[in-house]
Amino acid sequence: MLSVERILGGLVLLKGLDLALTGSHPAALAVFLAGGVLLLRDRALGWPLVLTGGLALLALAPLELRRQHLVLLVGIALVATVARDDGTRLMLWRTQLSALYGFAVLAKLNEAFLSGTVMAEALRVPLPLPVLLALGVSLLGVEALLAVTPWVPRLRTAGTAAAAGLHGVALLIVAGGPPIALRLLVFGGALVLLHAASAGLVPIRRTCSPRP
**Helix axis angle, 4-21 to 68-82, nearest 10°:** 140
Helix/strand/coil (H/E/C) assignment for every residue in 67-85:
CHHHHHHHHHHHHHHHCCC
- What 8-state DSSP symbol labels residue 109? -
Q: Taking the chain (212 residues) in consecutive chunks of 10 residues, what is each chunk's mean pLDDT? A: 92 91 84 96 92 91 68 95 92 96 94 91 89 94 97 97 96 86 93 97 65 44
Model confidence, pTM? 0.92
Where residue 189 falls (left for φ over 0; alpha for ψ -120 to 50; beta otherwise) is alpha
**Helix axis angle, 4-21 to 46-60, nearest 10°:** 30
Cα-trace Rg, the chain: 17
Nearest to 133 by CA among 124, 123, 147: 123
Nearest to 13 by CA among 28, 42, 44, 34: 34
Q: 135: how many CB neighbours lie within 10 A of its CB? A: 18
Nearest to 148 by CA among 99, 192, 195, 98: 98
Contact (CB, 8 A) for 39 and 8: yes
Nearest to 159 by CA among 104, 107, 98: 98
Write down the pLDDT at residue 167.
95
For the chain, how are helix, strand and coil distributed in percent, rounded to 5?
A: 75, 0, 20
Contact (CB, 8 A) for 97 and 195: yes
